[in-house]
Amino acid sequence: MSSPIPTRNLSLDVLRGMTVCFMIIVNSPGTGATPFGPLEHAAWHGFTPTDLVFPCFLFVVGNAMAFAMKKFNGLSNTQVVWKILRRSAIIFLLGYLMYWFPFFHHTEKGWVFNDIGHTRIMGVLQRIGLCYGIASLMIWFLPKRMVWILSLIFLFGYWALLYFGGDYSMAGNLGQKLDLAILGPNHLYNGEGMPFDPEGILSTMPAIVNVVIGYYVGLFIREKGSGYETVAKLLLAAAALISIAYFWHWVFPINKKLWTSPFVLYTCGLAMMILGALTYFIDIRNVRGRWTDFFGVFGKNPLFIYLLSEIILILFWVIPAGNGQSLYEAINASVFQRLAPGPIGSLLFALTVMSTCWLVGWLMDKRKIYIRV
């Protein structure tokens, strides 16, 4: 008799939880001081630990698909497509509404409704929804060989498009030109000193490969188990991807904001190394306890906890606190920067936001409340 196919893997859950935890920390820097360097994205070409967070999240989305897509067996293709498109659309819509939230802002004349014509269209959740949907359809309908061929086309095709369509600068790359032409400057991210979206339309193409690699890594673990051979092969594959990315970087720089092809391989390699280490300690050495429980809280409600963290920050920014300051700025100035001036105060604020979100997640876990879309 064959053994039942596992539906959960603790190492994958912990990796997902670690990703969400670190994502909240890097998205919540306090004001009044420059955060520690590793908690900031690379200015352009290059890499920092913060740059690993989002691609790692896409990687674990693929990991989860390796277990969740087994539920599609027995369904018609129409039902499968509907489920995939429905989930993709919900995630995309949640991201769009999050950028529009709280739908109004405060001016000297009082509260004014936010203009939908100036709402960012693409973004983090939007990219997750698109990458999940496209990768799922590829994996469900295409043979494995075709999925890998298409993934290579995405990576090398994106390189060719950027190479022949402009340059690798923020203003001159082809993705920027397409975003301005299709979406317009009012619907792009404006945190870079100019309208530029690091989660733009064209750069979504190579990001799909993060999900695809994550899926096949999850499938490998699901089929082979969590033994020494699995860990060894994960680490060898990770070293290969990192090496390829390193040499590719000489002609096509590793760049998170452009989501370049070597960036995809580099981040997937790092994610596989971390997963291999977690598999060794958690599944082989059985090193478990409060630390796995801590990250497991984030891993069980990742989408909800991430949305909660973003909503908290948005509300803190829009609520006025007098003297031309937002509540976000006032809390940092009067509490965290007084308590520990400089980057330590910034980090303490981020840890406070993260801990608040963890507490909500812990209460939900205690009550067996798990929100899925």
Q: Are 39 and 50 within 8 A, CB to CB?
A: yes
Q: How far apart are CA 116 and CA 113, in angstroms?
A: 9
Q: How far apart are CA 19 and CA 24, in angstroms?
A: 9
pLDDT at 2: 37
Give me 237's structure tokens: 């594959």
Residues whose CB falls within 8 Å of the CB of residue 277, separated by 6 or more in sequence, listed in order = none
pLDDT at 1: 33
Please state the φ and ψ torsions of residue 220, each to the nearest 5 degrees. -60, -45
pLDDT at 106: 64
Tell me the β-bridge partners of 105. Answer: 112
Stated length of the chain: 373
Q: Which residue has the tokens 């291999």?
A: 276
pLDDT at 3: 40
What would the DSSP string read from start to end of 38-84? GGS--SSSS--GGGGHHHHHHHHHHHHHHHHGGGGTTS-HHHHHHHH
- Is the model's pTM score more than 0.85? yes
Radius of gyration of the chain (CA): 21
pLDDT at 318: 84
Query: Cα dihedral sign for 314, 320, 324, 325?
Result: negative
- CA torsion angle 189 190 193 198 (round to 10): -10
39 closest CA partner among 26, 28, 27 = 26
pLDDT at 104: 74
Give me 346's structure tokens: 């910034």
pLDDT, mean of each 10-residue run, the chain (373 residues): 53 93 93 89 94 96 92 92 96 92 72 81 95 97 96 97 95 96 93 92 97 96 89 96 97 97 98 95 90 93 94 89 86 92 94 96 93 83
Q: At what angle do helices 124-141 and 144-165 cross, to 10 degrees?
A: 140
Tell me the β-bridge partners of 111. Answer: 106
Q: Are 218 and 66 within 8 A, CB to CB?
A: yes
Q: How far apart are CA 49 and CA 42, in angstroms?
A: 9
Q: Are 134 and 61 within 8 A, CB to CB?
A: no
167 closest CA partner among 253, 65, 49 = 253
